[in-house]
Amino acid sequence: MSAQPPVPTERGILQFLAICDSFYPPDAVQASIEQQRHWYDALCARFDRPLPPEMIFADGMLQRIPIRRYRPRKISTRTILLYLHGGGFVVGSLESHHAICAEIADFAGAELVSVDYRLAPEYRWPAQTDDGFTVSKHLLSANSKVVLIGDSAGANLAAGLALRARDEGLSGVVGQVLIYPALGGDLAAGSYVEMAAAPGLTTADVAYYREILQAPAGNEIAEPLQAASLAGLPPAFITVAHFDPLRDDGRQYAARLTAEGVEVWFREEPQMVHAWLRARHMSEGARDGFHAVCEAIRRFAAA
């Protein structure tokens, strides 16, 4: 008899998982990419929220890359927030994280740019990081300060962009906010084993998304945990979910950054699962975690 998968006990997050299960079946990765995107879009729409009052947003193109700009009612900093959405590099869009981006911009009192980077398998690595880097370079040249933000696959991209900016001598990245990041950890160790069957994301799912992306193993932009040095990177806020195979990626990255002299704020949400951002309006733990994320972004943007 197989062991039961680890699960949280918080009522709100269990309700969230039940809703997700009704939209996005456990074996979804076996379906076609088109079907996966349909399920994901429907799931995101289920958790949609009205935008904050007086929030303005507009779509545009930046060197062929679709973006969406958010401008809150009150701007308190000239720093720009750059958001890279999650979705395993396979699903997700400007729509999937629309309300999340608007709420972050409103809380931080800053303009936010969301990037509709190219997805796999139509576009393999490095298309995703190249799109993000093109936008970030433009923002850094036009504004002097940028905060890099991403969740899951998007956090992988944000961490990689921080490394690329450092290596190319670009100044102005004042913070990186990594929300349950995928950073290239060992699939046969730690939380990838302990949380292999966790609700919301399994280790098999992670392996599937890596295979679709086809990033070169050991490349430090694709797998920031493999970077030879993390010295000189901007300060970081990293948050992980306890019930998530990606948990130790964030733990290990925070520890390495700290050891190499980078200022780090680290949170582990004890009752959270992967993708808990969507549960921020129905789970106490997710609400607290999202507030901490927004506080960190506002702090970096005000620096």
81-137 pLDDT per residue, tens: 999 999 999 999 999 999 999 999 999 999 999 999 999 999 999 999 999 999 999
Question: Which of the residues are catalytic?
Answer: 152, 244, 274
Q: Do 291 and 262 form a contact (C-beta atoms < 8 A)?
A: no
β-bridge partners, 195: none
What per-residue confidence (pLDDT) applies to 77?
97
Which stretches of the chain drop beneath a pLDDT of 50? Answer: 1
88 Ramachandran zone, left/alpha/beta (phi>0; psi -120 to 50):
left
Nearest 5°: phi and psi at 13? -75, -30
Would you say the C-alpha torsion 192, 196, 202, 208 has a positive or negative sign? positive
Q: Which amino acid is at 117?
A: Y
Q: Which amino acid is at 135?
A: V
Distance CA 114, CA 99 (A): 11
CB under 8 A, 24+ apart: contacts of 127-133: 128/89, 128/153, 128/157, 128/213, 129/157, 129/160, 129/161, 129/164, 129/221, 129/222, 131/65, 132/82, 132/84, 132/157, 132/158, 132/160, 132/161, 133/161, 133/164, 133/165
